[in-house]
């Protein structure tokens, strides 16, 4: 059946103060920062417009209906039952992670990351006065896995206080399996390491895969974890600055709540989140089909025409990790090549920490004509070498 949502519809984003588009030169196609070039669901737009009409935008509280929309969404989409009181809103996942680190660590503690990974994690750890312990992912046969023996060794360090897990993993696109998560959870429990599970991309999973919320595996994992979720990636609402943390441990929750940090949804963020989580299922299902076609187009095109660049198959997210090492360029050379020769702005692999050299991250959350144009440019640039 043909989808009634038109993701091919071009949306002019230049001139809207868009980080993605307005920081890019006119002749460059921006495929970097993680937001999509699609309009949010109609119900979300209408809910915001209704509230705009009121004209008074003072301090606001989160309504019962918002909590209910969140808990029902998580239960419906991810089969995870969360209590209302576990939920704490924040203006973003990163402010939430920073706050949690400040609440649970002491200066000099160590926090495990799994590079290549979302760059701001490194800053958050350092800005909390902690040290990064890097449990680098393994890349074999075009696929990433965790180095679990190394994770265990790092977890055993008496100064290790937390792990920041990224699931689905940005940028390598893995959706960690129940088995992998169970092992991670067990290692962390045994070594008293708190798990901060960033699940911001968890609604964006391709059909062959299933997102397992780490905390849903058992009560012990739930009590030892903080889960970060948001409607921002799913429904393209990043500019509304609203995310939430699920903190089952009441002591950690109290510590977080006692910190002088913003702990609210924004007025329009709360309204948008409620509408999205209440009415957004069909839109999201159609989006996932569209992204799946983009993912297949990218993989098929590169394999047939530009085999020097290899796709690491994304299991979730619209961010695709591309292995460009066969082009034989150093980091500077690859960055210049993509921007100046191919005319596309992608994230450079090295910025995600060790293991990222020679890779790029491409955002395919865009109408297909944009993706096709970018692939044509990339192919021409590679063939001109
Ligand atoms: C894994 C991950 N965590 C956090 C964020 C940022 O979230 P927020 O804008 O809510 O701070 C992003 C954005 O790309 C992300 O990919």
Q: What is the pLDDT of residue 344?
A: 98
Residue to substitute in 20, 118, 199, 214 for testing ligand 1 pocket (most ligand atoms within 8 angstroms of CB)? 118
Please indicate whether residue 111, judged by its CB atom, sits closer than 6 Å to ligand 1.
no
Based on the fold, state whether residues 219 and 116 are members of the same structural domain.
yes
Q: Are residues 35 and 56 in the same domain?
A: no
Examine residue 5 and state whether it is found in any structural domain, yes or no.
no
Q: Which CATH number covers residue 27? A: 3.90.1150.10
Number of domains composing the chain: 2
Q: Does the beta carbon of 94 sit less than 6 angstroms from any atom of ligand 1?
A: yes
267 lies in the same domain as 321: no
Q: Which pLDDT value is given to residue 2? A: 52
Residue 100 lies in a domain: yes
Q: Is residue 244 part of a domain?
A: yes
Among 279, 313, 348, residue at a domain's last position: 279
Pocket test for ligand 1, best of 31, 34, 116 (most atoms within 8 A of CB): 34
- The reply to whether 1 falls in a domain is no
242 shares its domain with 288: no
CATH of residue 102: 3.40.640.10
196 CB under 6 A from ligand 1?
A: no
326: containing domain: 19-41+281-383
- Verify that 257 and 339 share a domain, yes or no: no
Beta pairing, strands 143-145 & 138-140: antiparallel
CA dist 22 → 30, 259, 370, 373 (Å): 9, 35, 16, 19
* Residue that is last in its domain, among 279, 295, 324: 279
User: Do residues 317 and 243 share a domain?
Assistant: no
User: 260, 279, 298 — which closes off a domain?
Assistant: 279
Does residue 153 belong to any structural domain of this protein? yes
Same domain, 254 and 330: no
Is the C-beta atom of 232 inside 6 A of ligand 1? yes
Within a domain: 130:
yes
**Beta bridge pairs of residue 348:** 360
Residue 294 lies in a domain: yes
Do residues 89 and 178 both lie within one domain?
yes
Q: Does the Cβ of 319 fall within 6 Å of ligand 1?
A: no
Sole residue written with tokens 């660590």: 105
Instruction: Report phi then psi at 115, rounded to 5.
Output: -75, 155
Identify the segments of the chain with pLDDT beneath 70. 1-3
Does ligand 1 come within 6 angstroms of the Cβ of 104?
no
Say whether both 199 and 54 belong to one domain.
Answer: yes
Q: Is residue 252 part of a domain?
A: yes
Q: pTM of the prediction?
A: 0.97
Structure tokens at 71: 């808990």
CB of 170 closer than 6 angstroms to any ligand 1 atom: yes
- Asked whether 363 lines ligand 1 (CB < 6 A), one says no
Q: Which two tokens stand for residue 267?
A: 């007025």
Tell whether 241 and 293 lie within a shared domain: no
Q: Which of 329, 346, 313 is nearest to 32 (CA)?
A: 346
Distant-in-sequence, close-in-space partners of 6: CB < 8 Å, separation ≥ 6? none
Euclidean distance between CA atoms 51 and 59, whole angstroms: 14
Hey, is 360 helix, strand or coil? strand
Helix (H) or strand (E) holding 194: strand 194-198
Same domain, 314 and 348: yes
Q: Are residues 181 and 304 in the same domain?
A: no
């Amino acid at each position: 059946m043909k989808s009634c949502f038109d993701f091919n519809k071009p949306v002019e984003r230049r001139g809207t103060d868009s980080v993605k588009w307005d920081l890019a030169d006119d002749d460059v196609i921006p495929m970097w920062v993680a937001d999509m070039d699609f309009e949010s669901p109609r119900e979300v737009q209408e809910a915001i417009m209704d509230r705009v009409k009121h004209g008074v935008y003072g301090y606001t509280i989160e309504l019962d209906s918002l909590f209910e929309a969140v808990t029902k969404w998580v239960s419906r989409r991810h089969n995870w039952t969360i209590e209302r009181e576990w939920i704490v809103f924040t203006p973003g996942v990163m402010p939430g992670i920073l706050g949690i680190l400040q609440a649970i660590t002491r200066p000099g503690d160590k926090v495990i990351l799994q590079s290549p990974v979302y760059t701001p994690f490194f800053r958050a750890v350092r800005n909390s006065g902690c040290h990064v312990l890097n449990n680098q992912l393994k890349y074999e046969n075009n696929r990433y896995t965790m180095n679990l023996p190394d994770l265990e060794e790092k977890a055993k360090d008496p100064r290790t206080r937390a792990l920041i897990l990224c699931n689905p993993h940005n940028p390598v696109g893995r959706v960690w399996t129940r088995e992998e998560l169970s092992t991670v959870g067990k290692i962390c429990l045994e070594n008293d390491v708190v798990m901060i599970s960033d699940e911001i991309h968890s609604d964006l999973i391709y059909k062959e895969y299933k997102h397992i919320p780490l905390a849903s595996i058992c009560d012990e994992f739930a009590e030892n974890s903080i889960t970060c979720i948001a409607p921002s990636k799913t429904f393209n609402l990043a500019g509304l600055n609203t995310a939430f943390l699920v903190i089952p441990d009441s002591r950690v929750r109290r510590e977080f709540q006692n910190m002088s940090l913003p702990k609210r949804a924004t007025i329009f963020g709360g309204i948008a989140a409620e509408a999205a989580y209440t009415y957004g299922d069909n839109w999201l299902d159609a989006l996932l089909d569209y992204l799946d076609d983009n993912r297949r187009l990218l993989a098929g095109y590169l394999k047939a025409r530009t085999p020097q660049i290899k796709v690491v198959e994304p299991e979730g997210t619209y961010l695709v990790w591309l292995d460009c090492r066969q082009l034989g360029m150093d980091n500077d050379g690859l960055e210049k090549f993509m921007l100046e020769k191919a005319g596309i702005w992608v994230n450079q692999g090295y910025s995600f920490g060790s293991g990222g050299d020679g890779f790029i991250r491409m955002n395919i959350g865009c109408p297909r004509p944009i993706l096709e144009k970018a692939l044509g440019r990339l192919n021409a640039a590679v063939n001109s070498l």
